[in-house]
Amino acid sequence: MCDRVKYIILFPHTLVQYIMIPNPMVEGREEYYPLTLLMATFWIWVYSFFIVFLTYEITIAYDLHFSILPMIIYPFGIVLRDLKKLEDMKICVETFKVHCSD
């Protein structure tokens, strides 16, 4: 049940990136790796901007000191990001095991 809830929460995030970032590992799209790098960098910028903007707005709304809130919020965002990367890496390793063993 926990995996289903996590899938539903992360689905919009995953779908938008799937549509916007070309996969250079697909046959016939090998030349798209510069675009993939550019789009990945763009998404990192978007996430960073969103985190900083949200942190600023919450800090202003609750009249908090500017150095307190980032120390609380940023580590949780990094953990969520890294959990997604860990899952993707496990899927990637399993896929390579299947394809490389042929």
SS3 assignment, position 101: coil
User: What is the band of 35 on the pLDDT scale with cuts at 50, 70, 90?
Assistant: very high
Residue 65: pLDDT band (50, 70, 90) is confident
Please give the model's pTM, rounded to 2 decimal places: 0.56
- Mind listing the pLDDT tens digit for each residue in 44-57? 888 878 887 887 88
